[in-house]
Chains A and B, each alone.
Chain A
Amino acid sequence: MAALIIENLHKTYRNGFEALMGIDLKVEQGDFFALLGPNGAGKSTAISIIASLINKTAGRVEIYGHDLDRQRDQAKRLIGLVPQEFNFNMWEPVVEILVNQAGYYGIPRKLAFERADEALKRLGLWEKRVTQARWLSGGMKRRLMIARALVHQPRLLILDEPTAGVDIEIRRSMWDFMREINRKGTTIILTTHYLEEAESLCRNIAIIDHGRIVEQTSMSRLLSQLHTEVFLLNLAAPISSAPALPEYQATLIDSETLEVEVTREQSMNQLFALLSDQGIEVSSMRNKQNRLEQMFVDLVDGSKQMRVST
Chain B
Amino acid sequence: MNSWQIYRIAFQTIVTKEILRFMRIWVQTLLPPAITTTLYFVIFGRLIGDRIGEMDGYRYIDFIVPGLILMSVIQNSYANVVSSFFGTKLQHYIEELLIAPVPHWVILSGYVIGGVARGTMVGILVTIISLFFTDLSINSYGLTLLVFVLTSVLFALAGFINAVYAKTFDDISIVPTFVLTPLTYLGGVFYSIELLPGFWQQLSLANPVLYMVNTFRFGILGISDINVTLALTIILGFIAILTFYSLRLLSRGVGIKD
Contacts and interface: CB of A to CB of B under 8 A. Distances in A.
Contact of A105 (B24, B87, B101): B101
Contact of B100 (A87, A101, A108): A101
A83 interface: yes
Contacts of B98: 51-53
A96 B17 contact: yes
A83 B24 CA distance: 28
Interface residues of B, number: 30
B5 interface: yes
Contacts of A74: 101
B167 interface: no
B89 to A, nearest CB: 11
Contacts of A262: none
A211 to B, nearest CB: 15
Contact of A89 (B93, B101, B258): B93
A73 B101 contact: yes
A104 B102 contact: yes
Contact of A76 (B16, B17, B100): B100
Nearest to B24: A91
A55 B13 CA distance: 25
B20 A104 contact: no
A72 B6 CA distance: 14
Contact of A87 (B14, B16, B24, B92): B92
Nearest to A51: B99
B9 interface: yes
Contacts of A52: 98-99
B135 interface: no
A88 interface: yes
Contact of B1 (A83, A91, A106): A106
Given A73-B3, A106-B5, A88 B17 contact: no
A138 interface: no
Interface of A is mostly: loop
A182 interface: no
Contacts of A72: 101
B100 A104 contact: yes
Interface string B83-94: 000011001110
B93 A104 contact: no
B116 to A, nearest CB: 19
Interface in A87-104: 87-91, 96, 99-101, 103-104
B93 A88 contact: yes
Given A77-B101, A104-B13, A87 B7 contact: no
Contacts of B99: 51-53, 76, 79, 81
B96 interface: yes
B7 A54 contact: no
A108 B16 CA distance: 13
A108 B98 CA distance: 19
B9 A54 contact: no
Interface in A43-57: 51-55
B96 A104 contact: yes
A106 B7 contact: yes
Contacts of B24: 91
A99 B257 CA distance: 24
Contacts of B257: 53-55
Contacts of A13: 258
A109 to B, nearest CB: 8
Interface of A: 13-14, 51-55, 72-74, 76-77, 79, 81, 83, 85-91, 96, 99-101, 103-109, 148, 152
Interface of B: 1, 3, 5-7, 9-10, 12-14, 16-17, 20, 24, 87-88, 91-93, 95-102, 253, 257-258
6 contacts: A52-B98, A73-B101, A81-B99, A87-B96, A100-B96, A104-B101
Report, nearest first, the 6 A-B pairs whose CB atoms are least far apart: A103-B13, A106-B6, A104-B100, A87-B92, A73-B101, A76-B101
Given A51-B95, A53-B98, A54-B257, 8 more contacts: A53-B95, A72-B101, A74-B101, A83-B95, A89-B88, A89-B91, A104-B97, A106-B5
